[in-house]
Structure 1
């Protein structure tokens, strides 16, 4: 999830997240499955997208068994790992 104030920087960050195969589930929240190396690579790029003291990027890894404990209300379905096996 992110809060980036600069429009071009935010757009560039969204493209980066999509490049990693992540999918938007809320306006500034993306979800998907990344290997440990992919998470580390993505996190290493965060500084590039932070352009003010008000900006923030948060990466919260969640294990597969923890996903069973996620509560969702409304019209949202989290991605399933098998959906991305062939990307």
Structure 2
């Protein structure tokens, strides 16, 4: 299922750690703190567990599942968002 992840971090080092975890699971950067990609339920659970281990008190990460039907209705205004299909997940 398609996932959108957004986060807000107080410290730059924790932001970099969260970004590294999101990228490890194959999520791709859309905006400065917004990532999107395809994850199954097990991957989503593992992602949340890994983020929970490093997240600090004032940080938060929001992960929203989006069905294919809803995602296909997306509209992009302004700069076109290009995903590179040659990216792959590393486990």
State the TM bucket, normalised to the shorter chain: 0.7 to 0.9
Moved over 6 A (4+): none
Q: Find the aligned partners of 1:78 and 1:41 in 2 and give their Cα distance.
A: 27
CA contact (8 A) 1:10 1:49 kept: no
The CA deviation at 1:5 is 1.0
The CA deviation at 1:50 is 2.3
Q: Aligned Cα RMSD in Å?
A: 2.1
Equivalent pairs, count? 83
Gaps of 5+ in 2: 1-5
Indicate the structure with greater strand content.
2
The CA deviation at 1:51 is 1.2
Q: Find the aligned partners of 2:21 and 2:68 in 1 and give their Cα distance.
A: 23
String of CA shifts for 1:28-82, please: whole Å, max 9, x gaps: 00011111110111112232232133x21000011111112222211133649xx
Identify which range, 16-25 or 41-50, moves more after superposition: 41-50
The CA deviation at 1:22 is 0.9
1:1-87 equivalences under 5 Å are: 1-53=6-58, 55-77=59-81, 79=83, 83=85, 87=88
